[in-house]
A and B are shown apart, each in its own frame.
Chain A
Amino acid sequence: MDNNQSRVSAVFSALSDPTRRRILARLSRDGEGPVTDLARPFRISLPAISRHLRVLERAELIGRRRDGRVHLIRARSEGLKPAQDWIENYAATWEFSFDRLDALLKEEQRGKSKAGTRTRSPTRKGRRK
């Protein structure tokens, strides 16, 4: 799979979970903090939080650094950009495709209205680069 696409997919699956979105929201509001502080308000176990953090980390939505034995976590808002771009591109792809479909349909209708004059196949003509 294309590298960017797997990045986007990682971001989407990371964000599909409400707990992970809340973790991200907190980090973004409160700034960098140790994992233990982060776990406290969620009433879930530290290993469970760690699993969520690993998913967020793989998606490059958070960064981690170590200060001695303490792991400090921070949000990386720039990590959202690929997903945001993807959605925009995705909508643009359909728009581009629909424009071409529209042109093919118009051609087809025109071809029908002058039935009998079959000089060229209307389904072939719309094929551009």
Chain B
Amino acid sequence: MKSEMETGRDWLRLTRIFDAPRAVLFKWWASGERLQQWFGVAGMARCEIETDFQVGGAFKQTMQMADGREFSSSGVYEEIIVPERIVYRTNFGAASMRVTVEFIDLGKQTKLVLSHEGPVDESFIDKMTKGTSSALDLLDELVRSELMQHGEDHT
């Protein structure tokens, strides 16, 4: 089953249903040792994740690509409600992004909802992800929506 991607109140939301009870799914998010077994990107050679899984605790992820390049990211847990909800903030250069992971109990299955807030607003991402194939189209969309929202400036 694939994820559903939508933009709504938050700028990007991914939803996916897993064939596992909520408590089981949650466990896979609750430790670095388990996270590093599944989280990663295609073409990655190695992934290490360290977590201090508690509110205020930090996590750090280091990924090494097959070609030797290395990426790392880090963040802080802001809210943890076992087995329902995890909120963390992750740095994104100058900006930061808040991610909420919700585990919705469906009996033998669990619906996972991953919502992002920041660093940009949803109207922008909406245009970025919906049907616009090139950067030029995107800018075009932006122009139309910005001018529509604000009227024809005050010329």
Contacts and interface: CB of A to CB of B under 8 A. Distances in A.
Interface in B1-53: 1-3, 5, 12, 14, 16, 18-20, 24-25, 28, 34, 37-42, 44-45
B8 to A, nearest CB: 15
Contacts of B120: 12, 15-16
Contacts of B93: 1, 5-6, 8-10, 12-13
A123 B37 contact: yes
A92 interface: yes
A84 B95 contact: no
> Contact size class for A?
35 or more
Given A12-B92, A22-B146, A105-B28, A2 B38 contact: no
Contact of A123 (B34, B69, B124, B139): B34
B34 A28 contact: no
B55 interface: no
B113 to A, nearest CB: 12
A123 B27 CA distance: 12
Contacts of A42: 153
Interface stretch (A46-54, A64-72, A94-102): A94-102
A41 B16 CA distance: 45
> Secondary structure at chain A's binding surface: helix, strand, loop or mixed?
helix
B145 to A, nearest CB: 8
Contacts of A126: 37-38
Interface string A87-118: 10111111111101110111011000000000
A126 B40 CA distance: 13
Given A89-B41, A98-B3, 14 more contacts: A10-B94, A12-B95, A12-B119, A16-B121, A21-B146, A25-B142, A28-B139, A91-B3, A94-B14, A97-B40, A101-B18, A102-B18, A127-B37, A129-B66
Interface of A: 1-2, 5-6, 8-10, 12-13, 15-16, 18, 21-22, 24-26, 28-29, 40-43, 75, 77-81, 83-84, 87, 89-98, 100-102, 104-106, 108-109, 123, 126-127, 129
